[in-house]
Amino acid sequence: MHRLRCFWMPTPGGYYMEKNEETPMAMASTTKIMTCILVLENAKVEEEVSISAYAATMPKVKLYVKKGEHYTVRELLFSLMLESHNDAAAALAEDIGGSFWVRRKRLRSILQKRVRQHYIDLHRR
């Protein structure tokens, strides 16, 4: 049924179960999960985020934020994780450092050898 499966347990044994774990596949929501982790590590949830022109122009699945609007990190995290909104992902990533964010995600994925990903931009790859 599933083409790829990998369950990981944070124990000395490491992986619990794997299926096709070496097969390259689209990252789907993994990028948004990594964005959430980095935001939680680098921002306060009550902090306000100002929406940029870039974040306001994200495609397809979005919250429909407008340039200059303000949201808390908490509100954008809910939008990101519950609805997978691209504009919330972009606003949060910009808030914690834009291109710095991409470098941090690459470094983190290298350090977590279980994750084989290559991050290029803020919301899709």
Residues involved in catalysis: 29, 32, 84
**Looking at residue 40, what DSSP letter applies?**
H
Sort 25 into a burial class: Cβ within 10 Å, 0-12 / 13-18 / 19+: exposed
Alpha helices, H only, 6-83: 30-42, 53-56, 73-83
Give Cα separations from 89 to 15, 33, 53, 67, 82 (angstroms).
29, 10, 14, 14, 12
Amino acid at 2: H
- The CA-based angle 110-115-116, given to 5 degrees, is 75
